[in-house]
Amino acid sequence: MSEINMEWYRSFYWTARMGSLSRAAEQLHITQPAISHTLKQLEHALGGPLFFRSAKGVSLTAEGEVMLQYVEQAFNLFESGEKRIADMRNLDEGEIRIGAGDTLSKHYLLPFLEKFHKEYPNIRIHVTNQTTPETLNLLKEGKMDIGIVNLPAEDRKVKFLRSLAQQDCLVGGKAYAKLSLRLHQEPLALAQLHEYPLIMLEPGGSTRHFLDRYAASAGVELKPELELGSLDLLVQFAISGFGLAFVTRNYVEQELARGELVEIPLTPAIPERHIGVAMLRGVPLSSASKRFISLLPFAEVDVDDVDVDE
């Protein structure tokens, strides 16, 4: 394909539509000689005339009629593209691709997705359930726009915004109620945890890594008897009396209030951590993604930080 300036086609299009060089010049806010010169360049590049002149203005040659069909399609596509971009910026269409684990999807993400969907029903929402490491990999591969992850997490290619705080704790079923009462006076030393059956998440996720590091900092190695794939399973197995489980207190408040679970105080205490909103550095967010992130609660973060065009 020959390299032809798009402005040539713009001049051709408006001259054909207006039937006059002067009116086309007015439409494009340029001079009539400029239009005439541009059309001569286009005709030279294509190897023949596209217009013939008459007393009433200009008319298309047979070749010009053929060219107009394609140029009109091209300009209609341009207009359609501009309209779609405007719709996306106005949140009348578009999509968001979010990666999050099962627990974060259920207990953190879902209420905000419901609110966003009610406000912007035409935005398609794609959620992929993955662990924090898997979510970060998908983000760096360009398959996700936003990741909802457990902090701490580090990656030089990813920007993390701290959202809600969450507190991990050790819980057991009703069989551990007396132990719980006794330990509120003197918490259980982490080194003594090996005396009880322990239930934990499977290795590989950020939560398990965080708890293993917490224990290691106190010189303790956690050796669970059961390793499960989700927090909901941990809760159910603990309620059923299979042992003590590390869970996120924020997500078991109802079970604790009903007495189905009791908390086992530990020393040293488990450090607080946060939910993180992850975005790829240097990649601007879509209007839909920016709007969704603006609905999320952040800790010590200016809301302007959601515009990560750095």
Query: Looking at residue 298, what is its pLDDT?
Result: 87
Q: Average of pLDDT values for 196-203? A: 95
Residues 69 and 97 in one domain: no
Q: Average of pLDDT values for 209-216? A: 95
Strand partners, 98: 127, 146
Query: Looking at residue 300, what is its pLDDT?
Result: 52
Residues 292 and 152 in one domain: yes
Residues in CB range of 198: below 8 A, 6 or more apart? 222, 223, 224, 225, 226, 243, 244, 245
Q: Are the CB atoms for 97 and 144 separated by under 8 Å?
A: yes
Among 83, 117, 134, residue at a domain's last position: 83
Query: Looking at residue 6, what is its pLDDT?
Result: 85
93: tokens are 């269409």
- pLDDT of residue 198 exceeding 90: yes
- pLDDT of residue 148 exceeding 90: yes
Mapping DSSP to helix (H, G, I), strand (E, B) and coil, where does residue 55 land? Answer: coil
Q: What's the rounded Cα separation, in Å, for the pair 159 and 274? A: 14
- In a domain, residue 26? The reply is yes
Query: Looking at residue 308, what is its pLDDT?
Result: 40
- In a domain, residue 310? The reply is no
Residues 143 and 264 in one domain: no
Residues 197 and 268 in one domain: yes
Among 83, 106, 127, residue at a domain's last position: 83
Query: Looking at residue 5, what is its pLDDT?
Result: 83
Q: Could you read off the pLDDT of 260-306 as tens digits, one per residue?
A: 999 999 999 999 999 999 999 988 888 889 899 999 998 654 444 44
Query: Looking at residue 260, what is its pLDDT?
Result: 96
Q: What's the rounded Cα separation, in Å, for the pair 135 and 133? A: 5
- pLDDT of residue 82 exceeding 90: no
Q: Could you read off the pLDDT of 89-131 as tens digits, one per residue?
A: 767 778 899 999 889 999 999 999 999 999 999 989 999 998 8
Q: What's the rounded Cα separation, in Å, for the pair 193 and 245? A: 11
Q: Average of pLDDT values for 55-70? A: 89
Residues 188 and 253 in one domain: yes
Residues 154 and 291 in one domain: yes
Mapping DSSP to helix (H, G, I), strand (E, B) and coil, where does residue 275 land? Answer: strand
Query: Looking at residue 4, what is its pLDDT?
Result: 63
Tell me the residue range of the domain where 214 lies.
Answer: 167-272
Among 63, 83, 103, residue at a domain's last position: 83
Q: How confident is the model at residue 66 (pLDDT cuts 50, 70, 90)?
A: very high
Q: Give the number of domains in the chain.
A: 3
Query: Looking at residue 90, what is its pLDDT?
Result: 66
Q: Could you read off the pLDDT of 248-257 as tens digits, one per residue?
A: 999 999 999 9
Give the residue with greater pLDDT, 78 vs 41. Answer: 41
- In a domain, residue 88? The reply is no
Tell me, what CATH number does 282's domain have?
Answer: 3.40.190.10
Residues 227 and 297 in one domain: no
Tell me, what CATH number does 33's domain have?
Answer: 1.10.10.10
Q: What's the rounded Cα separation, in Å, for the pair 128 and 308? A: 22
92: tokens are 């009348």
Residues in CB range of 276: below 8 A, 6 or more apart? 147, 148, 149, 150, 151, 153, 160, 161, 162, 163
Amino acid (1-letter code) at residue 147: G
- pLDDT of residue 193 exceeding 70: yes
Residues 247 and 295 in one domain: no
Residues 245 and 225 in one domain: yes
- pLDDT of residue 185 exceeding 90: no
Residues 197 and 158 in one domain: no
Residues 75 and 214 in one domain: no
Instruction: Tell me the whole-structure pTM to 2 decimals.
Output: 0.69
Residues 139 and 279 in one domain: yes
Give the residue with greater pLDDT, 67 vs 92. Answer: 67
Spell out the long-range contacts of 42-51 with Cβ–Cβ below 8 A and sequence spacing 24 or more. 42/4, 42/8, 42/9, 42/11, 42/12, 45/2, 45/4, 45/8, 50/12, 51/15, 51/16
